[in-house]
Structure 1
Amino acid sequence: MSQTVSRAIEVLEFCSERPRELLEIAQLWDVHRTTALRLVQTLEAGGFVRKDDRGRYGVGFRLAALAESALEQFDLRTVVHPHIVDLSERVRQTVQFAVQQGSRIVYVDKIEPYNSIRLNTRIGGYVVVHTAGVSKAILANLAPTQRDRILNELTFEKFTDTTLTSRAAFEQRLETVKETGWAYDDGEYESISNCIAAPVWDHAGRVAGGISITALKAQTDLVALEDLLPDLLDTTTTISRELGWREPRSADRTA
């Protein structure tokens, strides 16, 4: 990848987090302001970034339009979306859908109903793998080589008292997820929230993604969330069947 293209990608990601001053962008690459300005002006002319009334650079409307078009073309999200809307309306909680993308787990859809918890996650954003329910639901069912590729990059940073801070503890949790068919996040990233999650399967019996239900602990603790497991599993099973998955026969499961 050329340096110019690489820098353009970096500045788009940088400015997507919040509007940035030109000096911040120059400091990102350790270059002079005029060097940063040339690239930013090119992106601005193309509509990929825009300058606000305070002179800061944020994501442009053209980039937003391209992102929307990309999501519309993402068939898996198209299939999943109406089902998680229905699930969210039934359980009245925030519902998220994530998929594996290389060595990352990425959020591709989120439904936040009125009066539900508001999460700082965003569509297209990366999952904090060792804390989230969706990542556990996915990783527990990946092939060992794929799982190791992701685990090898984790630092197991501690966020709360319940965060899993070692690979051994995390892999042990994944074994439990594999056995039970669902995962949970017991306030492992933010102590105020918890979630349950389950995998979605494709036509070949491979894990295609994970869906979670997240709630404020003060309103719905983990025990209460488990009461919503039938709704969650009904949704993931329905989506999986729509993707061509067929539940293994009893003989296959015991073989």
Structure 2
Amino acid sequence: MRVRVPLAAGAAGKAILAHLPDSILEALPLSKYTDRTPLNRTEIRKGLELVRERGWALGDGERIPDGYGVAVPYFAENSVAGSITATIPRHRADELSLETLTAQLSAIAGAVTQLLSA
């Protein structure tokens, strides 16, 4: 089964979009998936800057109504190639240690980057 993942909504897509040229965001059609889906390009751009700074993306009900996701990008030959994502039910988000999860996802993404760039 093939699933289309929007780049501007949800952790998985935002982790990738943050490392693509700004022209990609400008050309993307923005679709509303939930009441939390970001539709303002200026706000999305600010969020992508934060993703680049901290190294991971967060999605809180943006694509999946009761989903909460954290994603880290991986790279191949110095270009973003995808993301590693953990998604949980939103009601469990308070139980989550973002510091621990992002560290573990970053380690996995680093290993994938190394494999793809060898």
TM-score range, shorter-chain basis? 0.7 to 0.9
Q: 1:159 aligns with which of 34, 38, 55?
A: 34
Aligned to 2:51: 177
Query: Are 2:70 and 2:85, in contact at CA under 8 Å, matched by a contact in 1?
Result: yes
- Deviations, residues 131-187 of structure 1 (Å, cap 9, x unaligned): 121111111111x2xx42354232342612x32121111111111101111101011
Quote the RMSD (CA, aligned, Å): 2.0
Instruction: Please tell me the residue identity of whatever aligns with 1:179.
Output: E
Counterpart residue number, 1:138: 16
Match of 1:244 in 2: 117
Q: How many residues align?
A: 117
Structure 1 segments, 4+ long, off by >3 Å, are none
Rounded to whole Å, the distance in 1 between the matches of 2:55 and 2:28 is: 25
1:223 & 1:172 partners in 2: Cα distance? 27
Once the two structures are superposed, what CA deviation does each residue of 1:69-91 show, in whole Å capped at 9, x if it has no partner? xxxxxxxxxxxxxxxxxxxxxxx
Unaligned runs of 5+ in 1: 1-122, 246-255
TM-score (norm 2): 0.85
Give the distance between the partners of 1:170 and 1:156, measured in 2 at CA: 13
Alpha carbons of structure 1 residues 193 and 225: separation in structure 2 relative to 1, 3 Å:
farther
Change (3 A) 1:222 1:209: farther
Mapped to 2, the partners of 1:129 and 1:225 lie a distance apart of 25
Structure 1 residue 125 displacement after superposition: 1.9
Contact 2:33 2:64 (8 Å CA) reproduced: no
Find the residue that maps to 2:86 and give its secondary structure. strand
Tell which has more relative contact order, 1 or 2 (C-alpha 8 A, sep 6+): 2
Matches of 1:201 and 1:235, distance apart in 2: 12
TM-score (norm 1): 0.42
How far is 1:128 from its partner?
A: 2.5
The alpha-carbon distance between structure 1 residues 193 and 181, as it changes in their structure 2 partners (threshold 3 A), is same
Amino acid at match of 1:133: A
Q: Residue in 1 aligned with 2:3?
A: 125
Q: Deviations over 1:53-82 (max 9, x none)?
A: xxxxxxxxxxxxxxxxxxxxxxxxxxxxxx
Aligned pairs for 1:1-255 (under 5 A) are 123-142=1-20, 144=21, 147-157=22-32, 159-160=34-35, 162-202=36-76, 204-218=77-91, 220-221=92-93, 224=96, 226=98, 227-244=100-117
Given residue 209 of structure 1, which amino acid in structure 2 is its aligned partner? G
**SS of corresponding position for 1:228:** helix
* C-alpha distance in 1 between matches for 2:94 and 2:107: 19
Contact 1:193 1:217 in 2 (8 A): yes
Answer whether contact 1:131 1:163 (CA < 8 A) is retained. yes
> Which amino acid in the other structure matches residue 157 of structure 1?
K
